[in-house]
C-alpha cells in the first residue's frame, strides 16, 4: 500500500518490534550488571549487546516511531489527501527491515558483531573492530537513506499539500516541529554517512582519516559524529 496511514502503521509496528528487540538486549546488559563480579555472558558479547542495543533503540525504535506518527498525522493535520511522494514513502519504510536484519545478522559473523559502543569511536571501530563492521556500516547507510527520504517527503508535503486557507501560521505545532526536524535530518544524515564511510575505508582500504600514524586524528571522528549526533537528537 502507498496509503500514508498504512505506512504510518507499518512504521509503528516495526518500531515496536525493534523496541522489544533492543529491550531484550538491555535485559542482558542489566542482568550482567546485577551484582559486582557476576559474569553471565562473555565480555565481548556484553560489548556487542551494548552497541547493538544503542543502535536499535535510536535508529530502530525511536526514529521510526516518530516517522510513523508523522506519516499518520501530517496529511490529516494539513488537510492533504496523502503524503506528497507516496511511493518513496513506501520505499523509505521497506528498506528498514533489511537494514536491521543486516545489523542483527552481524552478531552471528565470525569474530562477532560490532562491539565498540553505539557511538563507534575510532580507533575502536577501525583498528580494533571485527570484520562485521562492514555490515554495520552498510546498515547505517540504509537507515540514513530511509530517514532522508522520509524527511524529503515531509517537507514536500507540508510545503505543497496544505488545504486552502491553511497558512503557515495556522499549521499545528506538531507539523511545525516535523518540518524543522526534516530539515535537520537532511542536513545531518549525510554527515553520519561520511563518518561511517571513513570508518569503513580506514578499516578495510588503508586510509588514515582517524589514524595518527598516517596523519589522521581520532578526535576528528568525535567532532564529525557529534556534528550529526546533536541535531539528530
Distance CA 25, CA 54 (A): 9
Position 48 scores a pLDDT of 97
Radius of gyration (C-alpha) of the chain in whole angstroms:
19
Cβ burial of 39 (10 Å; 0-12, 13-18, 19+) is: exposed
What's the average model confidence in pLDDT over 60-88? Answer: 97
Q: How confident is the prediction for the chain on average, in pLDDT?
A: 96
Asked if residue 111 lies in contact with residue 130, where contact means CB atoms within 8 angstroms, the answer is: yes
Domains of the chain with CATH codes: 4-230 (1.20.210.10)
Position 127 scores a pLDDT of 94
What's the average model confidence in pLDDT over 182-196? Answer: 97
Asked if pLDDT for residue 150 goes beyond 90, the answer is yes
What's the average model confidence in pLDDT over 171-188? Answer: 97
Kindly report, residue by residue over 114-143, the tens digit of the pLDDT. 999 999 999 999 999 999 999 999 999 999
Position 233 scores a pLDDT of 85
Q: Name the packing angle between helices 63-78 and 86-105 (round to 10°).
A: 170
What's the average model confidence in pLDDT over 139-149? Answer: 97
Q: Which residue is it, cell 506538531?
A: 174
Position 1 scores a pLDDT of 86
Distance CA 140, CA 138 (A): 5
Kindly report, residue by residue over 106-121, the tens digit of the pLDDT. 999 999 999 999 999 9
Phi/psi of residue 93, each to 5°? Answer: -75, -50
Portion of the chain with pLDDT greater than 70, in percent: 100
Q: Which residue is it, cell 535537520?
A: 184
Kindly report, residue by residue over 37-58, the tens digit of the pLDDT. 999 999 999 999 999 999 999 9
Distance CA 64, CA 209 (A): 31
Distance CA 193, CA 2 (A): 27
Amino acid at each position: 500500500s502507498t496509503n500514508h496511514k498504512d505506512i504510518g502503521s507499518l512504521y509503528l509496528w516495526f518500531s515496536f518490534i525493534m523496541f522489544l528487540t533492543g529491550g531484550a538486549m538491555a535485559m542482558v546488559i542489566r542482568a550482567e550488571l546485577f551484582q559486582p563480579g557476576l559474569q553471565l555472558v562473555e565480555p565481548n558479547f556484553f560489548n556487542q549487546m551494548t552497541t547493538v542495543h544503542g543502535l536499535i533503540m535510536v535508529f530502530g525504535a525511536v526514529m521510526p516511531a516518530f516517522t510513523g506518527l508523522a506519516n499518520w498525522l501530517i496529511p490529516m493535520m494539513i488537510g492533504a489527501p496523502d503524503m506528497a511522494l507516496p511511493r518513496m514513502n513506501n520505499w523509505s519504510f521497506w528498506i528498514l527491515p533489511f537494514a536491521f536484519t543486516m545489523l542483527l545478522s552481524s552478531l552471528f559473523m565470525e569474530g562477532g558483531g560490532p562491539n565498540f559502543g553505539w557511538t563507534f569511536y575510532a580507533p575502536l571501530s577501525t583498528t580494533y573492530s571485527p570484520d562485521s563492521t562492514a555490515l554495520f556500516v552498510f546498515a547505517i547507510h540504509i537507515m540514513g537513506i530511509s530517514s532522508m527520504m522520509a524527511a524529503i517527503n515531509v517537507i514536500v508535503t507540508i510545503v505543497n499539500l496544505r488545504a486552502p486557507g491553511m497558512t503557515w501560521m495556522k499549521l499545528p505545532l506538531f507539523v511545525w516541529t516535523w518540518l524543522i526536524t526534516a530539515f535537520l535530518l537532511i542536513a545531518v544524515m549525510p554527515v553520519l554517512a561520511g563518518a561511517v564511510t571513513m570508518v569503513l575505508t580506514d578499516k578495510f582500504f588503508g586510509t588514515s582519516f582517524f589514524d595518527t600514524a598516517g596523519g589522521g586524528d581520532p578526535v576528528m571522528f568525535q567532532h564529525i559524529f557529534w556534528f550529526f549526533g546533536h541535531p539528530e537528537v
